[in-house]
Structure 1
Amino acid sequence: MITPDVVLDGKVIIHQPDLVNLYGCRIGAGTRIGAFVEIQKNAVVGRDCKISSHSFLCEGVTIEDGVFIGHGVMFTNDTYPRALTADGTVQSEADWSVIPTRVGRCASIGSNATILPGVTIGEGAMVGAGAVVTRDVEPYTTVAGVPARVLHPSERKKGGAMRTNERLA
């Protein structure tokens, strides 16, 4: 289901529109979205991204241009999720605050990674499949594992040359 409040910029490709849930979000031009993806209200996806099937982008997530999101990637936006308040009543939106998460330009997140709230994944960073990202990832750094740890620190300094296997749009 794609609700009327979704903003789709030019040439967004949704491979199976009847198998996605998009509501109250904005998707940049040239972005491709796979089946069984949910993108919640107030989430923003930049231009020329790829959001693979079965991924979940919750409220408060900002994805910059050229980002790759693998299959089954899960974002979270609440550090202490609860169904009930302290007095036992059902929790509502008024009982918690969204903790924003940002993924920098041309970063890549491998399949089945989980991104905890409040994290920034830097430009050109790479998150390995299955990683659980609990803290910020520096630009052009590769992390993997549970919790995610640095495998390859940044080899690129601001304004410097990129490695040959890196490409920025």
Structure 2
Amino acid sequence: MSAATENRQVPQFACVADDVRMGQRVRLASYVNLYGCEIGDDTRLGAFVEVQRDAKIGRRCKISSHSFVCSGVTIEDEVFIGHGVIFINDRYPRATTTDGAPQTEDDWKMEHTVVRKGASIGSGAIVMCGVEIGAGALVGAGAMVVRDVPAGSIVAGHPARLRGPAVESKARESQ
């Protein structure tokens, strides 16, 4: 048994590579695909979620079904990711080089993305590479995030624009 699956319940149709570092009490749905990544304690991953090499997901997160977390993405603790959220790590994707040869890892530049503690990203959002989503921020469903999102704010739209403070921030102000 691999270090990734030792003492953990891995669904029959989940693909968990030997190089995955998984915390305690991680819950995986069927058809997840994990390789070379890190998943923190008490995190839940829905069906058809893929987490690529060198991605990091913190503790007590929920990653809903059909989401894609690519290399270069760091998701801190207590983050919610809705259904079908897509992260992008290459600003200028191409299949081939200028001379027509297939691209290799040396032919592109991965850009890192960070989702800070307690942020939430709504279903169907697309997160462009090289951005930071601040702590406690809320990204609306279907948003296209192309620039940094301030901590405690709400963004929505295509491209995502600032709509105001997050609901939790408003609740705290009234106390």
Relative to the length of structure 1, the TM-score reads 0.90
Conservation of the 8 A alpha-carbon contact between 1:56 and 1:74: yes
> In the TM superposition, what whole-angstrom CA distance separates every residue of 1:63-100 from its partner, at most 9, and x where no partner exists?
00000000000000000000010111000111112100
Match status 1:144 vs 2:156: yes
Match status 1:3 vs 2:3: no
SS at match of 1:102: strand
Tell me the equivalent position of 1:159.
none
Match status 1:92 vs 2:99: no
> In the TM superposition, what whole-angstrom CA distance separates every residue of 1:125-148 from its partner, at most 9, and x where no partner exists?
000000000000000000000000
Match of 1:56 among 68, 80, 94: 68
Match status 1:67 vs 2:79: yes
Tell me the equivalent position of 1:132.
144
Could you tell me how far apart the structure 2 residues matched to 1:96 and 1:153 are? 36
Task: Report the CA distance between 1:164 and its aligned residue.
Answer: 2.6
Tell me the equivalent position of 2:56.
44
Could you tell me how far apart the structure 2 residues matched to 1:93 and 1:73 are? 24
Could you tell me how far apart the structure 1 residues matched to 2:29 and 2:78 are? 18
Conservation of the 8 A alpha-carbon contact between 2:40 and 2:60: yes
Aligned residues: 159
Question: Equivalent pairs: percent with the same residue?
Answer: 56
Unaligned runs of 5+ in 1: 157-161
> In the TM superposition, what whole-angstrom CA distance separates every residue of 1:4-58 from its partner, at most 9, and x where no partner exists?
0001111101122xx0110000000000000000000000000000000000000
Tell me the equivalent position of 1:25.
37
Conservation of the 8 A alpha-carbon contact between 1:64 and 1:105: yes
Moved over 3 A (4+): 153-156
Conservation of the 8 A alpha-carbon contact between 1:15 and 1:33: yes
SS at match of 1:138: coil
Give, as a single letter, the amino acid of the residue that structure 2 aligns with 1:21: N
Conservation of the 8 A alpha-carbon contact between 2:136 and 2:166: no
Tell which deviates more after alignment, 20-29 or 146-155.
Answer: 146-155
Match status 1:15 vs 2:29: yes
SS at match of 2:106: helix
Tell which deviates more after alignment, 86-95 or 48-57.
Answer: 86-95
Give, as a single letter, the amino acid of the residue that structure 2 aligns with 1:125: A
Could you tell me how far apart the structure 1 residues matched to 2:20 and 2:151 are? 30
